[in-house]
Amino acid sequence: MPIHPDSAPSGGAQKCDAPASAHVNVRGLRVFLDRRGKGRPILYLHSDRGGAWNNFLGGLSSRYDVLAPDHPAFGRSDVPDWFDNIHDLAYFYLDFLEQLKLTNVHIVGAGLGGWIACEVAIRSTQRLASLTLIDSYGLRVVGTKRPDVFLWTREETVRNLYNEQSFADATLAKEMTDEDLDLYNKTRHAAARVGWAPRFYDPHLAKWTHRIDIPTLIAWGREDKLLPVSYAEEFKRAIPHAELAIFDRSGHVPHIEELDNFTTVLDAFIKGTGK
């Protein structure tokens, strides 16, 4: 989907081929899954703008087993009748891990996906090895103003994702097909269902983050226009054992804007878990 930042050129040296993709059935729900590579499993949970295989995931797949599903009700996945809130998605991914018999999973979530990953880890870390949150939604910082992303146009959204505007230029230069537009509208509707009220946070989340008992990395772009870096500090307070990595030249998507640097940090973190 052209609005998704991951479809823009990464600026890094790594390039990815087309991933293996198929629909998988999880408790009667058809979910679209891109999966490629071998090694330690990484479950990547995409942002509220939908999923897209990209250079970041392609690079990881050269040494990890990377799983990148479209969330239920998003993108190419079906819309379940039980889909109401963020907690539904968290429980779904626990079922997903169980059905695919995945263990020692390094779960990586960006934006909305980070919020989902956090909710998953609060409920159970039995099948998880680590948690990485990339500019994640989920918490509220009292006194810090945040923009209302639902009021932004497509161009405003794309431009505000990045610090380096050449990434935005590349994304906006791509014309949207009718299929792209359908997926965009579907994903935007799904994002509104989980993030409309309150705006992309759970007032109860911080009460339960003490249950996250696995190594955790909080990664943030210093120039994030959606979630100021104070949100990274709030997550660090909520998960005291977590490591914090700030990417000085990035906006909301440091894994895209600083691909090589971000990947080096993530590799070192995963290696340090010993799993």
Residue 52 has what pLDDT? 86
Residue 84 has what pLDDT? 94
**Confidence check: pLDDT of 16 > 80:** no
**Mean pLDDT estimate for the chain:** 93
pLDDT > 90 fraction of the chain, expressed in percent and rounded: 91
**Confidence check: pLDDT of 74 > 60:** yes
pLDDT > 70 fraction of the chain, expressed in percent and rounded: 93
Beta strands at 64-69 and 29-36: parallel, antiparallel or unpaired:
antiparallel
Distance between CA 103 and CA 179 in Å, rounded? 35
Residue 19 has what pLDDT? 56
* Residue spans of beta strands (DSSP E) within 56-181: 64-69, 105-110, 128-134
Structural contact between residues 131 and 217, judged by C-beta atoms closer than 8 angstroms: yes
| Angle subtended at Cα 137 by Cα 97 and Cα 17, rounded to the nearest 5 degrees | 55
**Confidence check: pLDDT of 1 > 70:** no
Which residue blocks in 162-258 are alpha helix, DSSP H? 165-172, 178-195, 230-238, 254-257
Residue 236 has what pLDDT? 98
pTM assigned to the model: 0.93
**Confidence check: pLDDT of 164 > 60:** yes
**Confidence check: pLDDT of 2 > 80:** no
Secondary structure (3-state) at 219: strand
pLDDT tens for each residue of 192-247: 999 998 999 999 999 999 999 999 999 999 999 999 999 999 999 999 999 999 99
pLDDT tens for each residue of 83-130: 999 999 999 999 999 999 999 999 999 999 999 999 999 999 999 999
> Residue 134 burial (CB < 10 Å; 0-12/13-18/19+)?
buried
Task: Give the closest residue to 112 by CA, choosing from 155, 184, 43, 50.
Answer: 50
Domain of residue 94: give its range.
5-273
Categorize the per-residue pLDDT at 11 as very low, low, confident or very high, splitting at 50, 70 and 90. very low
**What distance separates the 2 farthest-apart alpha carbons in the chain?**
46
pLDDT tens for each residue of 140-153: 999 998 999 999 99
Q: DSSP letter string over 15-75? A: --PPPEEEEEEETTEEEEEEEE--SEEEEEE--TT-----HHHHHHTTTEEEEEEPPTTST
Distance between CA 160 and CA 224 in Å, rounded? 8
**Confidence check: pLDDT of 13 > 70:** no
CATH code, domain with 61? 3.40.50.1820
> Residue 187 burial (CB < 10 Å; 0-12/13-18/19+)?
buried
Secondary structure (3-state) at 194: helix
Residue type, 88: D
Q: How many domains does the chain have?
A: 1
What are the tokens at 139?
């918490």
Distance between CA 74 and CA 91 in Å, rounded? 16
Distance between CA 24 and CA 33 in Å, rounded? 7
Residue 75 has what pLDDT? 96
Distance between CA 227 and CA 245 in Å, rounded? 15
Q: Phi, psi (5° rounding) for residue 20?
A: -70, 130
**Confidence check: pLDDT of 132 > 70:** yes
Categorize the per-residue pLDDT at 20 as very low, low, confident or very high, splitting at 50, 70 and 90. confident
